[in-house]
């Protein structure tokens, strides 16, 4: 059992640390390792777990948690989650420490001013990617635009209301035959 | 060194627990921005957005990286650990429950469609907050151009993210440095 958990951590941690570009860049190496190399799950099972990870909240890389759960139960899920998020978080923390220590210096201010529009551009690009992923469903485009418009008009509405509303609207559209 | 108000760990936990639990469709940065910058004013737009850029350059999930950055900025190591744990608690439980009940739920007529609607609403919220960030950070011609180039390169042409940042960021930072030198 310990051996399985150790192997799980040793496979997942490097995948997470090599995932430049967020959770989406983890899918390919995760599939390769879990299906072809370690034979933890079949391709069919992998795709089922992928579908589960898409309909639940949290980063897409939680798929790794499900693979851990599949091969070693609750302990596997815990070890997989730690292996996925602790090393990368530690790295962010280390860089953040250096970043915050130099706050107020001239080069830091310039870095912050220079990186802010890059961050905004990345946010916008991220939205486009997500819109594209949902664009096969016409009803979801309607929901995306409606939520953005309502939020611009009434900023204080709780996000949960939007999530619930989006789900209900698409369910009703489904019943109506769209 | 500017003074930032000391935010209670309990508040950090509550905010990030909620963000994590409802972070459908991967649209998390917009929500963090809404709660942390717009509603609670724990940090400035520039501080947050430069942190987002850092969080995205680093490997790992953007959502957890952003949580660690914000938590650390607010309360150091305790804040980072709190934000990360809080953000992962809900999704961890939810995904295990979902995996165990998946077969039953996905057979319910309309359930997958409703989940897509939920994800779409999350993306709609992200769209709105991203437009706000775009407006805030694109004051002036150079930042607006930098933002547009980043967006087109990553979003439309789908160039590798790391390569785009390695080209755009030094130019943008250099110009910002030059502008601050000139202002003196």
CB-based contact B161 A18, cutoff 8 Å: no
Q: Give the model's confidence band at B74: pLDDT under 50 very low, under 70 low, under 90 confident, else very high.
A: very high
A118 and chain B in contact, CB less than 8 A = yes
Q: Is the ipTM of this complex over 0.85?
A: no
Q: Which residue has the higher pLDDT, A101 or A48?
A: A101
Of B74, B76, B71, the residue nearest B19 (C-alpha): B71
Query: Residue A68, Cβ neighbours under 10 Å: how many?
Result: 28
How many domains is chain A partitioned into structurally?
Answer: 2
| Res B46: pLDDT | 86
Q: Give B144: exposed, middle or buried? Use CB within 10 Å, 0-12, 13-18, 19+.
A: middle
**Residue A152 placed within a domain:** yes
The DSSP line for B138-172 is T-SHHHHHHHHHHHIIIIIS---HHHHHHHHHHHH
A29 and A91 belong to one structural domain: yes
**Residue A111 placed within a domain:** no
A59 and A124 belong to one structural domain: no
* Token representation of residue B86: 């809080």
Dist CA B60 CA A89 (whole Å):
8
Over residues A143-164, the pLDDT tens digits come to: 999 999 998 888 778 777 888 8
Closest CA of chain A from B121, distance in Å = 5
A17 and A82 belong to one structural domain: yes
Q: pLDDT over 90 for what percent of chain A?
A: 43
**Residue A108 placed within a domain:** no
User: What residues in B contact A66, CB-CB < 8 Å?
Assistant: 95-96, 99
Q: What is the mean pLDDT of residues A25-54?
A: 85
Dist CA B166 CA A46 (whole Å):
34
A122 and A91 belong to one structural domain: no
Q: How many CB pairs under 8 A join A and B?
A: 380
Residue B110: pLDDT over 50: yes
**Residue A107 placed within a domain:** no
Q: pLDDT over 70 for what percent of chain A?
A: 97
Residue B88: pLDDT over 90: yes
Residue B12 contacts residue B86 (beta carbons within 8 Å): yes
CB-based contact A88 B122, cutoff 8 Å: no
Give chain B's mean pLDDT. 87
Q: Give the model's confidence band at B86: pLDDT under 50 very low, under 70 low, under 90 confident, else very high.
A: very high
Closest CA of chain A from B36, distance in Å = 14
Choose the closest CB to B53 out of A122, A141, A155.
A122
Q: pLDDT over 70 for what percent of chain B?
A: 95
Cα–Cα distances in angstroms (integers) from residue A89 to residues A94, B157, B161, in the given order: 9, 29, 19
| 3 state SS of A62 | helix
Range of the domain at A167: 116-175
A77 and A148 belong to one structural domain: no
A95 and A19 belong to one structural domain: yes
B155 and chain A in contact, CB less than 8 A = yes
Q: Give B10: exposed, middle or buried? Use CB within 10 Å, 0-12, 13-18, 19+.
A: exposed
A27 and A82 belong to one structural domain: yes
Choose the closest CB to A93 out of B24, B57, B68.
B68
Of A121, A12, A123, A85, the residue nearest B68 (C-alpha): A85
Closest CA of chain B from A3, distance in Å = 22
| Res A22: pLDDT | 66
**Residue A110 placed within a domain:** no
First to last CA, chain B: 20
**Residue A109 placed within a domain:** no
Of A46, A10, A34, the residue nearest B99 (C-alpha): A46
| Res B1: pLDDT | 40
Q: What is the mean pLDDT of residues A4-33?
A: 84
**Residue A75 placed within a domain:** yes
- Among A115-119, A162-166, B82-86, where is mean pLDDT lowest? A115-119
**Residue A58 placed within a domain:** yes
Closest CA of chain A from B47, distance in Å = 7
Chosen domain end from A101, A136, A162:
A101
CB-based contact B130 A124, cutoff 8 Å: yes
The radius of gyration of chain A from alpha carbons, rounded to an integer in Å, stands at 20
A121 and A58 belong to one structural domain: no
Per-residue burial over A124-139, b if 16 or more Cβ lie within 10 Å, else e, is bbbbbbbbebbeebeb
Residue B82: pLDDT over 50: yes
A85 and chain B in contact, CB less than 8 A = yes
A93 and A6 belong to one structural domain: yes
Return the domain boundaries, chain B.
Answer: 9-137, 140-184
Of B57, B94, B72, B9, the residue nearest A59 (C-alpha): B94
């Amino acid at each position: 059992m310990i051996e399985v958990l150790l192997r799980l951590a040793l496979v997942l941690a490097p995948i997470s640390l090599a995932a430049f570009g967020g959770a989406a860049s983890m899918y390919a190496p995760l599939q390769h390792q879990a299906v072809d190399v370690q034979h933890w799950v079949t391709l069919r099972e992998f795709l089922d777990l992928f579908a589960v990870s898409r309909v639940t909240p949290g980063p897409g890389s939680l798929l790794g948690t499900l693979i851990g759960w599949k091969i070693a139960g609750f302990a596997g899920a815990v070890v997989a989650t730690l292996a996925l998020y602790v090393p990368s978080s530690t790295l962010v923390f280390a860089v953040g420490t250096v970043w915050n220590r130099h706050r107020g210096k001239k080069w830091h201010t310039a870095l912050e001013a220079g990186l802010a529009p890059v961050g905004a551009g990345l946010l916008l690009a991220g939205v486009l990617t997500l819109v594209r992923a949902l664009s096969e469903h016409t009803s979801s485009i309607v929901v995306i635009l409606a939520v953005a418009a309502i939020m611009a008009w009434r900023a204080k509405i709780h996000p949960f209301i939007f999530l619930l509303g989006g789900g209900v609207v698409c369910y009703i559209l489904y019943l109506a035959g769209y | 060194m500017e003074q930032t108000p000391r935010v209670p760990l309990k508040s950090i936990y509550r905010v990030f627990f909620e963000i994590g639990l409802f972070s459908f469709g991967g649209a998390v940065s917009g929500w963090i921005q809404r709660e942390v910058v717009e509603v609670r004013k724990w940090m400035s737009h520039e501080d947050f957005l430069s942190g987002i850029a850092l969080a995205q350059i680093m490997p790992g999930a953007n959502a957890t990286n952003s949580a660690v950055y914000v938590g650390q900025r607010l309360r150091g190591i305790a804040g980072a650990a709190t934000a990360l744990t809080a953000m992962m608690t809900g999704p961890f439980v939810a995904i295990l429950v979902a995996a165990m009940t998946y077969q039953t739920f996905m057979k319910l007529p309309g359930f997958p469609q409703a989940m897509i609607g939920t994800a779409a609403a999350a993306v709609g919220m992200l769209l709105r907050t991203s437009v706000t960030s775009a407006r805030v950070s694109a004051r002036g011609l150079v930042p607006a151009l930098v933002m547009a180039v980043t967006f087109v390169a990553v979003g439309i042409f789908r160039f590798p993210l790391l390569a785009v940042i390695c080209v755009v960021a030094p130019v943008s930072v250099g110009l910002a440095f030059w502008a601050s030198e000139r202002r003196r």
